[in-house]
Amino acid sequence: MDSKSLQHNRLVSEEISRKPDHKEGQNGDEQLVAEIMGRCFFPSLITNQAWEGFHFAGQKIKITEATESYGAVVWPSALVLCHFLETNVKSCNMVDKTVIEIGAGTGLVSIVASFLGARVIATDLPELLGNLQYNLRRNTKMRCTHEPQVKELFWGVDLEKNFPRSLYRFDYILAADVVYHHPYLEELLLTFDHLCTENTVIIWAMRFRLEKENQFVDRFKKLFDLEVISDFPSLSITLFKAKRRHRVKWSLNTAS
Ligand SMILES: C[S@@+](CC[C@H](N)C(=O)[O-])C[C@H]1O[C@@H](n2cnc3c(N)ncnc32)[C@H](O)[C@@H]1O
- Other C-beta atoms within 10 Å of 69: how many? 14
Sheet of 52-56, strands arranged across: 40-41, 52-56, 59-63
Q: How many residues does the chain have?
A: 256
pLDDT of residue 222: 94
* CA–centroid distance, residue 25 to ligand 1 (Å): 31
* CA–centroid distance, residue 170 to ligand 1 (Å): 19
Does the pLDDT of residue 73 top 70, yes or no?
Answer: yes
pLDDT by residue (tens digit) across 13-28?
A: 566 554 444 455 678 8
pLDDT by residue (tens digit) across 33-50?
A: 999 999 988 776 656 667
Q: Is the CB of 186 under 6 A from ligand 1?
A: no
Q: Is the CB of 240 under 6 A from ligand 1?
A: no
Closest of 127, 106, 125 to residue 50, by C-alpha: 106
pLDDT by residue (tens digit) across 209-254?
A: 988 778 999 999 999 999 999 999 999 999 999 999 976 555 555 5
Strands (E), 66-207: 98-102, 119-124, 149-152, 172-176, 201-207
* CA–centroid distance, residue 69 to ligand 1 (Å): 9
- The CATH architecture to which 3-255 belongs is 3-Layer(aba) Sandwich (3.40)
- Break the chain into its structural domains and give their ranges: 3-255
Q: Distance between terminal CA atoms of the chain?
A: 44
Is there a contact between 170 and 200 (Cβ–Cβ < 8 Å)? Answer: yes
Closest of 139, 68, 75 to residue 110, by C-alpha: 139
Does the pLDDT of residue 1 top 60, yes or no?
Answer: no
* CA–centroid distance, residue 212 to ligand 1 (Å): 18
